[in-house]
Amino acid sequence: MGDYSRETSGTRKNNHQSSPSSRTPRPPAFLDIDFFQERD
């Protein structure tokens, strides 16, 4: 699940690099943090 979330976030950032709203994806970022914390 963590890998999938990270890949989706990267693709979204690359796709919407010009969009300010998409530039700050809160849902994906939160998931990424949760994944990192669980791994630690």
pLDDT of 38 strictly over 60: yes
**What is the model's pLDDT at position 22?**
52
Report the predicted TM-score, pTM, of the whole model to 2 decimal places: 0.16
Question: Residue ranges per domain, the chain?
Answer: 1-8+24-40
The pLDDT score that the predictor gives to residue 2 is: 59
The Cα 13–Cα 16 span in angstroms is 5
pLDDT band of residue 1 (cuts 50, 70, 90) is low
DSSP letter for each residue of 1-40:
-HHHHHHHHHHHHHHTSS-HHHHS-HHHHHHHHHHHHHH-
In angstroms, rounded to a whole number, what is the distance separating the alpha carbons of residues 35 and 29? Answer: 10
> pLDDT digit string (tens) for 3-37?
655 555 555 555 545 555 555 555 655 666 666 66
